[in-house]
Amino acid sequence: MTFEELCDNFSFLESWEEKYQYLIELGDTLPPFDEADKTPANKVEGCMSQVWLTHWQDAMGRHFFKAASDAHIVRGLEAIILTLVNGKTDAELHDLDLLSAFRRLGLEEHLSPTRRNGFYAMTDRIRQLIK
């Protein structure tokens, strides 16, 4: 799914209960995360829930990430972030404004401060990993 498709899907949902349910469904689409990768080195600090993030780069210089969390809404936020970042090059990631994308979905004002902070912590961790 592309980010544009995500935006379209969010725009069709009328209530915030529907949007939260959609976030949970997005989180359910994340690929399995290996338990062996749930290490302190892969843990995202600054999140209230448990969040892990792994990163690798292919031979063409594209970045890929996998994420996991013990919280349903956070897994949905991870799915959105991964939609935006997976398969991108260094230049594409450096030009990507994750916070604007988050705002475009209208999520910023409807998530609790702790979930917003968790989103910011995940985006900061991605920036650290690609340096």
Total domain count, the chain: 1
**Which residue in the list 23, 47, 51, 85 is annotated as catalytic?**
47
**Cα–Cα distance for residue pair 124/128, rounded to 1 Å:** 6
Range of the domain at 27: 3-130
**Cα–Cα distance for residue pair 108/127, rounded to 1 Å:** 20
Task: Supply angle C-alpha 114, 115, 118, rounded to 5.
Answer: 90
87 — pLDDT class (breaks 50, 70, 90): very high
pLDDT, tens digit (0-9, with 9 covering 90-100), for 104-120: 888 777 778 788 888 88
pLDDT, tens digit (0-9, with 9 covering 90-100), for 69-83: 999 999 999 999 999
Amino acid 72: pLDDT: 92
25 — pLDDT class (breaks 50, 70, 90): very high
46 — pLDDT class (breaks 50, 70, 90): confident
Provide the mean pLDDT of the chain: 91
Token digits for 117?
């902070």
Is the Cβ–Cβ distance between 74 and 111 less than 8 Å?
Answer: no
| CATH number of the domain to which 64 belongs | 3.90.1010.10
Which of 73, 32, 64, 66 lies closest to 52 in space, CA to CA? Answer: 66
| Known catalytic membership, residue 7 | no
Give Dmax (Cα) for the chain. 43
